[in-house]
Amino acid sequence: MLSAKTKNLGIIGYPIGHTLSPIMQEAALEAAGLDYSYIALLVPPGRLVPALEGLRALYFRGWNVTIPHKSTIIQFLDAIDPDAKLIGAVNTVVNDGGAITGYNTDVIGFLMSLAAANFNLKGRRAVMLGAGGAARAVTWALCKRRAASITIGVRNPSKAMALANDFKEFASIDVYDWNSEEFKAQLGEADILINATPLGMSPKVDEMPPIELERLWEGALVYDLVYSPSKTKLLLKAEELGHPIINGEAMLAYQGAESFRLFTGVETDAQIMLNAVRQALASE
């Protein structure tokens, strides 16, 4: 029950109705018996500054950040974690007595989801589809775990070169048009294929990236960051071909668990959040 001692948490974004963060965080808070409240806050693009002033004034302990504020918010922070600075995006903010610090927990979320699947990135050859915000976090995760190489396939290679240039000192990164023969050849060398595009996401479940999964060797892991539906067209086809698959649910849960730890100082079982996500998606 809410009281004068209840600490406030939330998520800011626009739109905000799609977010599963309140469901995940409330489930973890209840399991931990912590006196916190977590709410979704609709913040249009032009209202970010007054929203941050309000969150500070109301002593919010912290908040998650979603589109369109992940990059814009950086200029208004008092401090930023090195991972978030390099990625150029913040998804978690912690308020320590009015001083706000930004973090990006997507890197940990991605790495923990692979660890749960007993997949070690070190020395592996990665192929990734897309070069947006999610791809930047994944790229840094691949660099941190010393992937042997990173190949990025996109519609427009010129737009993806900025990502490659930002991380080129940490790993061997090549960018190709995903329809090119050069990219198709790289598929055959991949140990892991990662879809960091929204193609296949509900409600457009009939979409998938235009790639030939048959070119992958049979042991390659296929990881789709999309979590709704639980099996995209890409994952269904990969599964039919005998590939191990992972969807975005685990990454979502693990990044949420890391945000929870930053907010509260308490470790939580990501499975609690994962169960809450699955239950919510099943009821849609």
> Distance between CA 19 and CA 13 in Å, rounded?
9
Residue written as token pair 């930023």:
80
> Distance between CA 168 and CA 149 in Å, rounded?
11
Sign of dihedral through CA atoms 65, 66, 70, 76? negative
Question: Which is the catalytic residue, given 5, 70, 85, 231?
Answer: 70
- Dig out the tokens for 260 from the structure: 């929870």
> Distance between CA 144 and CA 260 in Å, rounded?
23
Q: Could you check whether the bond before residue 209 is cis, i.e. omega within 30 degrees of 0? A: no
Residue 70 is among the residues annotated as catalytic for this protein: yes
- H helices, E strands: number in the chain: 10, 12
Q: How many CB atoms lie within 10 A of CB 79?
A: 13
Residues with catalytic roles: 70
